[in-house]
Amino acid sequence: MEANDGADVYERAREFAADRENGAAALEAALAADADGEPWSFDDVALDSGTFGELVSRGIVAKVDGEYRLADRDAVRRALEGDDPVSAESTQDEEGVLAGVDVPGAGQGVDAVRAALVGLVSLRAIVIGLALAFVGAVRTVLIYGDVHRDGVVVLPGNDPYRYRYWVEQLVTSDLQPWNPGDLSAMPSEVAGNDVFYYWLAWLASALLGNSVEAVSTVLTWYPVVAAMGTALAVYALTMRLTGDFRMGIASILMLALIPIHTTYTALGFADHHALDYLLLTLVAGSLVLVVDRDPEVRIGGAVLSARWVGVIGFGLVLAAQNAAWRGGPLWLAGIGLYVFVQTIVDVTNDRSPLEFGIPVLSAIGITAAVTLVFWGWFGWLEESRAVAPVLLFVGSGVVLAGGEGARRVDVSTRAMGAGAVTLASIAAVTAWLIVPVVTESVTRAIWYFEETGSSGITETASLFSADFNVIFGPLMYLGGAFVLALPVIGWATWTAFRSDQRGWGVVATLSWYLLVWTVIQLRFAAEFAPFVALFAGIGFVALLSWVDLAEPTTLFAGESGGQSPSGARSTGQSLSDGGKGDESLSNGVISRSNLPAPSRAAFIVLGFLLISSFSLIYVPSYMGDVVSDESTHETAMWLEGYSAEQGYEYPENYVFSPWSENLQYNYFVNGESASYWYAQSNYEDFITSSDPDGWYDELRSEGRFVVTHGIDGNYSDSSTQATLHDRLGSRGDDAPGAGQYRALHVSDDRDRAAFELVPGARMTGSGPVNGTITIETPVEIDGEEFTYERQVETNRYGDYGVTVPYAADYETAGETRTVTADDVEEGATLGSSRAHWTFDEGSGDTVRDPIGGDEATVDGAEWVGGVNGTALRFDGNGSTVVQDDRAQGVANGSFSVSFWVKGDLAASGADYPTVLRQGGEGGYGFWARSGSGDFGIRVDDVEGIGVRAFGIGTTTFKDWTLITAVIDRERDEVRLYRNGELVTTRDASSLGPIGGQGALSIGGRPSGNFATASVDSMRIYSEALNGETVQQLYEENYVNALV
């Protein structure tokens, strides 16, 4: 050996002892075998093949003529004792990373510093870092420009805006995330939901400046950081189970390209998912530590009990996971399943289930205690989520106790399994029936899966849905990794429960459990992804070994002999001790000599690309699907500017849109993105309806804006989708158009259209009887002009009414009519005819005023023949009420009311049987006075001053009779007509403003004084009709009645 070899062996031995949990014990075993200085064989040392192979690959053990010796026994001994063999002049690490770097001073303290630096900059750490960087890059590079647009952060997807909203609410409040008292004051929408996620995002934002900008930064990068954390956890778990560095790195790379995981952890996809995946992986890893028989784990150089580190970690992480997502109890059930299965396996093999059960139960107890603190002290979580860990603790305790009892009395496995299943079923059904919180939770869960399962949303479909041709679902969403992982999961299941490998049992059980949920709904595929990556990484290395591109691994060869000196079970997880090719890569020792040849490396890369081929197709595609469309962003920004310009504030500037992008619109336009429930519940019905104006009142009660999206596929020409999105409100072949949606903006690609809800101006008039009237005007939107056009049919009287949303000059019936902006905003009626209830529907329970455009529900009446067409006959037990009709307000100026009536009004027994009543601050009404036997009108102003005109001396009208009243403000009089003839005139000079009117009631007052009478052709005018016009009304209808 050269003079410096002893120092090299010393350094390698020190690093080996530091890197391996049982490294020191392994070196002691090798020293014992080498004690007499003679060569020895592998069988002479109490080490498993993986550990022994690493000693050889690091150059600590040398192969001599087919046997082995320590390369430098004294250097190994000094490494164990901590002695420095030589001065520290110009020392190097074995990879040459610190070559030529002088380390001043000497002694153990300097060595410790140098060793720490070597560990930090070792090639092993660099490779891990590069793999993790690849995970982050895949989730960042493709969509960075889509997330950062025009100086704002545009989060992908819809749900992230809800989280953004609530975290901003927390950041801008007076609460502090580190103040326990403030944690109990979080909004109920946060505390009862994904509260742990909200708290972490809030805390990170507070640490970065406690501003809205800090929230944007945190939510932009959190999914990527969480994905990298998940990848590191998968790597650590893979290494714990296999000890093979190649498999650990492969698992990271597999996770990097699993399509659904990549999409749900992409830059800015800031809902709870990314944290769920990290916590679920940590739950699995910590549970492996709890049940594993390897007693040690190194943390920061300290050697600790792996089991109790796992107990504490498992208990805390499981509590966090339950609080991070409102569906957390689903994963608690997975833990319960593992306890159940492992207990059955232990009893079957005559092992005490308490060996693993007591630590697991202790960890679950920590989870239950922490969760109850969350619930009882902070007021977090729903009651069901607070109780779930307690139920898991009790249930697991019962299973473990039952298993131990069955083992001791020698109950057969079949009997025990059947008894356990029966007992669990009885307990579950009993809890469901008699424990309210369980009943409510289970019922809600069943409803949720039934409701979402039929929603047509992609993530609620099964992984093996027929929509994906059954077999393509796994490839589309989990990639080729699923194909590699599935057989390895099967092998791990067999190995775990045949050979008492409890760590494998944990990941195998949870994998099958998650696969079942993924089969139920695709949304769970991303939770399954870390486990797919773990097993796919193992499968990939095994596949390379099988095709002779890597040295064989003994992982699938069954149990290797021997136990390590620490007492850890032999996993048989790494390379044999041969000296070829890349064997040392399994142990993370990287040098030029053990890297694969370029030709092999090319084939390895090609193999990885082949396995990832589906991912390389679907990852960009899915990311493109979740990022905000440019047209959506453009429309949201336009509406935000318009809303600010108009001075609108929430809720007036609420945006009604497809639910899938509803939160984004509302976040940017009004800052309120807490829920898309209203849009999800109503938008589909809205766009498929054929009467957009029929939705006006409901939508206007929510806000002002409506956004439509282009739709692929067929839809009716009469649908709202066609009327608004395709024609911007204009008429179609089968649709009259929309009058209360003013087009504001159309995106450049014509895929988004934004409208403002307006009352609209009502244009009324007359034309040919039963004819067609066309109303049109040019409208300019975003610099482009289109013709807004509507058509309306006149009725048998030649009347028409149509609502328009634009202030413009309209061409109609050969004349130009001007509509002002005030007319549109105030819902003005243009034309003297304000209402005409013809009652010509003839059936059904709805009547419509074609002039005013109002509708009312028939109550207390039946259809009969009228003076023209059909009429309503009221039976004295109810009235038809018109709420918020357009005729309101006319009574503050001159107006006229005319209707036909027939019947004995007093037969109802009312003192004042009423035919028509317009209530409000003042109002007017037509009724009979049963006591005096006459009929007329009374008009009251807001001061209570009234004018009565009761000149018709009867309450019975055997034939159809036309009643007309004219309130003439210019002449200060009220005139009452019967069949076109003036009956009486009353002075109205003392009559003041009538004020705002209430509902229009026909056939009685809304709450009484009902009449027994038939009513037809009721008209309201916003002018004082003269006698000649009143006579014309009588003659027109009377002649028609004779015909």
Cα-Cα-Cα-Cα dihedral sign, residues 763, 765, 768, 770: positive
> Mind listing the domains of the chain with CATH numbers?
5-121 (no CATH), 148-546 (no CATH), 643-828 (2.60.40.3390), 833-1042 (2.60.120.200)
Q: What is the DSSP letter of 377?
A: T
Q: For residue 567, give the DSSP letter.
A: -
How distant, in Å, are the alpha carbons of 14, 488, 589 from that of 23? 9, 29, 15
Provide the pLDDT for residue 469. Answer: 61
Cα gap 912→905, rounded to integer Å:
9
Q: What is the CA radius of gyration of the chain?
A: 41
Low-confidence ranges of the chain (pLDDT < 50): 1-4, 86-108, 119, 558-583, 1039-1043
Is the CB of residue 881 less than 8 Å from the CB of residue 893? no
**Which residue carries 């919180």 as its tokens?**
437
Q: Which long-range contacts (CB under 8 A, 24 or more apart) does 807-810 make?
A: 808/777, 808/778, 808/779, 809/777, 810/763, 810/775, 810/776, 810/777
Helix residue spans in 212-305 (DSSP H)? 212-242, 245-256, 259-264, 273-291
Residues in the chain: 1043
CA dist., res. 113 & res. 119, Å (int):
10
**Residue type for 300, please?**
G
Q: What is the pLDDT of residue 34?
A: 83
- Torsion angle of alpha carbons 688, 693, 697, 703, nearest 10°? 70
Q: 737 to each of 157, 434, 693, 700, 704, how far by Cα in Å?
A: 33, 56, 9, 18, 19
Coil, helix or strand at residue 959: strand
Q: What is the DSSP string of 852-884?
A: T--EEE--SEEEEE-SSSEEEEEESS--EEETT
- Angle (CA) 829 832 838, round 5°: 90
3-state secondary structure of 201: helix
CB 774 within 8 A of CB 791: yes
pLDDT score of 575: 28
pLDDT of res. 89: 38
Position 265 scores a pLDDT of 97
Residues ≥6 apart with Cβ < 8 Å to 529 = 255, 258, 260, 261, 277, 478
**What are the backbone angles phi and psi of residue 297, rounded to the nearest 5°?**
-145, 140
**DSSP string over 324-368:** HSTTTHHHHHHHHHHHHHHHHHHHHTT--THHHHHHHHHHHHHHH
* 114, 295, 729, 761, 829 from 806: Cα distances, Å: 78, 78, 11, 8, 14
Question: Distance between CA 886 and CA 398 in Å, rounded?
Answer: 71
CB 611 within 8 A of CB 540: yes
Q: What is the pLDDT of residue 592?
A: 56
The per-residue pLDDT for 833 is 87
